[in-house]
Amino acid sequence: MPQRNRLAIAMAVLLGVSAGCTKKDSPPAAQAIPLDQVVPSTAGPTQPQVVLEKTFSLKTSATFPFEIPSHAARPHLHGIFQSFVGKAGGVSDDAANIEFVILNEDQQTNVTNDRPSEALFSVESSHNQAVNFDLPPSMNQPVKYYLAFHNAQGSNSSKVVEANFRVDF
């Protein structure tokens, strides 16, 4: 094969190889929006925050708000309530049963305005209940929640509730 043809073939091969090796521009990677980021606190583990530590009379209903700070990656609510007929330490059986729910702000607004609503968590007809519930992560805004107790028997049967709830972030 003449020298000239070999040179032409070698040039064609080199051009073909270099064309195949060129870096193509890839589409830009999706950028994270700071509002959507949940970042664990750099302050280290925190002590549980008291949400509710109270003994109260319950004729019809009682609601207790609490707030999760912004950027809480894994908020966890835990606690216990016990209800009694008449007075604390009194009868605590089925006659002392109450309902308990955890609501977010929209759900609480619906309940307040007598509109149907679901709850994040609910307990029906109980006089002694332990609660362990993982709340959704908060983004860059604090999030408000509500513990709500309801006496289904109304003011005909006054109850007393001892409640102790804490939240870990």
Find the mean pLDDT for residues 128-137.
96
Quick check: 43 pLDDT over 50?
A: no
| pLDDT in the model for residue 48 | 87
User: In which residue are the tokens 């835990």 written?
Assistant: 78
For 54-91, the pLDDT digits (tens) are: 999 999 999 999 999 999 999 999 999 999 998 888 88
- What tokens appear for 125 in the block? 């007809």
Confidence tier at 28 by pLDDT (50, 70, 90): low
Look at the alpha carbons of 5, 6, 9, 11 in this order and tell me if their dihedral is positive or negative: negative
Domains of the chain: 48-168 (2.60.120)
Q: Please state, rounded to an integer, the average pLDDT across all residues of the chain.
A: 82
Which residues, including other chains, have CB under 8 Å from residue 168's CB and lie 6 or more apart? Answer: 46, 48, 49, 74, 75, 76, 78
* Per-residue pLDDT, 44: 45
Q: At 42, is the pLDDT very low, low, confident or very high (cuts 50, 70, 90)?
A: very low
Q: Provide the pLDDT confidence category of residue 157 given band limits of 50, 70 and 90.
A: confident
